[in-house]
Structure formats: structure tokens, C-alpha cells
Amino acid sequence: MSGEESRVAIYIDFDNVVISRASQVRTTGATATVAIDVLLDFATRYGRLIISRAYADWSVPKNADYRSQLVARAVELVQLFPASGTKNGADIRLAVDAIEDLYLHPDLTHVVIAAGDSDFVPLAQRARRLGRTVVGVGVAGSISKALASACDVYVDYDELLDDREKAEAEVAHDEPARPEADVGQPRRPYPLIHEAIRGLDAQRPDRDWHPLSAIKQQVLRIEPTFKERDHDAGGFGELLARFNGQVEVKDNQARLR
């Protein structure tokens, strides 16, 4: 744990997230789509993402629809076979894999559990006893209070989604409309920059300003294929200057306004 760079693993109970999201919006008419980037970008706030796994029966169409997005973000898809016949199949497999990873990777500093099920309480407790920081993410309405209490940090997926949507709306008039889910297309730059600075704020809460080099490094953690030229910019500083209403830059450092 003495390394300077935090190393993060995220485990997604994908069946749970998809079902919980569909149940949540059933009476509102809102889309039940799960924003993959929102979950993974959040995990990256805490450091370098070295393990990312999603657990589901990928033969089910509602899960299979997300496969290309998950693979594009280098998420390992763990197949859960319906022949197991138990609702807890994902919980058990996820927990076993996570505990194994904790022992195989002693440099792992953060464990992110994307689920709301109280069955993951023992996993959270064991990870904390082993000295890891445990972060939970759940969909409102399906969050177990016991699991939230067992984590060092627990956040509502809807809060993350609202934060992303606000970031998108702030610069919607300055950037061409393009769905984040377009695989193979460069992601819009401001949401990446916004998320990168939020990540540095989480990693270094003692700092109000962050070096531009650190912000770009964090952007590359989120999106390794990021290039300024894909956004018609000659450099990172030039790109940041486009968003001076949202990002304050001074002496090669920046912060969100």
C-alpha cells in the first residue's frame, strides 16, 4: 500500500444494476439505460483502474445490449449461467473473485462494488479489514443500508448521472451532439475534463488547484485513446481554454469554477 499511485478494482453486479434501474424508472417514463461510462469513470476517480469485471448472463438481450460498450472499456465479462438456478450466483462469484484479487494483488488500494445487495456486506467488511478502501455504488430504491454502512464511501448512481448530465449541459451549445455510447468515436472533451478534475479532487482533497499535467494524466486514465487533435486542439492548454466558463486556469494549474 505504500505506492504513490492508488490502484482500483471495480466489480459490477450487472444483472442487479440493470434490473434495479428498470424498476426505478418504471413509473417515471425515463430511460432505463445504464450509463457505463458514468460507473467506470467514477471508479477511476480513486486511481488507476487495474481490474474491472461485470457479472451477468450475457445471453439475456437486456444485458447483451451493453457488451460492446463494456468491451470497449476493457471490462471483463463474467458469464453467469442460468443453470445455476440461484439468485445469489452473481453475488457468490463476484465475492469469491474479489477476495482472490485482494490476496493476489496486495497493491490493490480501492475496491468499488457496483451493487445494492446486502449480500455483499461480508465482502465489504473483509476488504476493509485487509486495509482496502471500499466504495459502493447503488441505484436509488435498491440500496441496502447495511451495505452502505459497511463501505468507506457509498454513492447513489443517480447523483453520478445527474453530475454527468449537468456537465454535458454546460457545454452543449459549444460541442456537437454525440451520444457517449458511440463506440469508436472520440468522447466529448468537457465531460472527460470535468470527470478528471473531480477525480483529482477526490484523490487530493488538500488541493484547490491541480497541475495541467496531472489533469491530462487523469483524462488518459479514463480514456487512454484521448488526443487533443481529435478535438482540433494543438495542446491540452488550448483545449482547456475553450471551457473557460467552466474551468479556471492559472499558472499551469486548473480547477472547476
Collapse the DSSP code of 107 into the 3-class scheme (helix H, G, I; strand E, B; otherwise coil) and give the result: coil
DSSP class of residue 44 equals: H
Q: How many CA atoms lie within 13 A of 127 on its CB side?
A: 34
Beta-carbon count within 10 A of 67 CB: 14
Helix (H, G, I), strand (E, B) or coil at 210: strand
Q: What is the mean pLDDT of residues 78-107?
A: 83
Query: What pLDDT is recorded for position 83?
Result: 57
Mean of the pLDDT values across residues 43-67?
93
- pLDDT score for 174: 57
Under 8 Å between Cβ of 5 and 47: yes
Phi-psi region of 109 (alpha: psi -120 to 50; beta: other; left: phi over 0): alpha
pLDDT tens digit sequence for 199-231: 999 888 889 999 999 999 999 999 999 999 999
Mean pLDDT of the chain: 87
Residue 9: strand pairing partners: 51, 111
Please tell me the predicted confidence (pLDDT) of residue 108.
96
Query: What is the band of 89 on the pLDDT scale with cuts at 50, 70, 90?
Result: low
Which pTM does this prediction carry? 0.84
CB-based contact 39:73 (threshold 8 Å)? no
